[in-house]
Amino acid sequence: MNCKQALQLLYDVLDREAGRIETAEMEKHLKNCRPCLATYEFERMFQTLIVNKSQNVKDNSILKDKIRAQLDAIDTAG
């Protein structure tokens, strides 16, 4: 597995939608590739943060709107 393949599979692995073989290949790649491991760890922590924050919000639509606004601001900034 190369970096491009690993990054394409990243969210499937994080969301536990990848198969056992794909997940094992990803884990093997991450053991040998620090940049992909850093990306994986960041995305995993970000996903955990979002899940934790969304559990504390009574109206998840407010959180979603805030996230979308921040992502739009990032896109606009370039």
20 and 26 Cβ atoms separated by less than 8 Å: no
What is the C-alpha to C-alpha distance for residues 26 and 33, in angstroms, rounded to an integer? Answer: 10
pLDDT range class, residue 8, cuts 50, 70, 90: very high
What percent of the chain shows pLDDT beyond 90? 67
Residue 68 has pLDDT above 70, yes or no: yes
Q: Which domain holds residue 28?
A: 3-77
What is the average per-residue pLDDT within 64-71? 88
What is the average per-residue pLDDT within 18-38? 95
Residue 64 has pLDDT above 90, yes or no: no
Handedness of CA 39, 45, 47, 49 (dihedral sign): negative
Q: How many domains does the chain have?
A: 1
6 and 30 Cβ atoms separated by less than 8 Å: yes
Token pair of 50, please?
């979002």
Residue 55 has pLDDT above 80, yes or no: no
Average pLDDT, the chain: 89
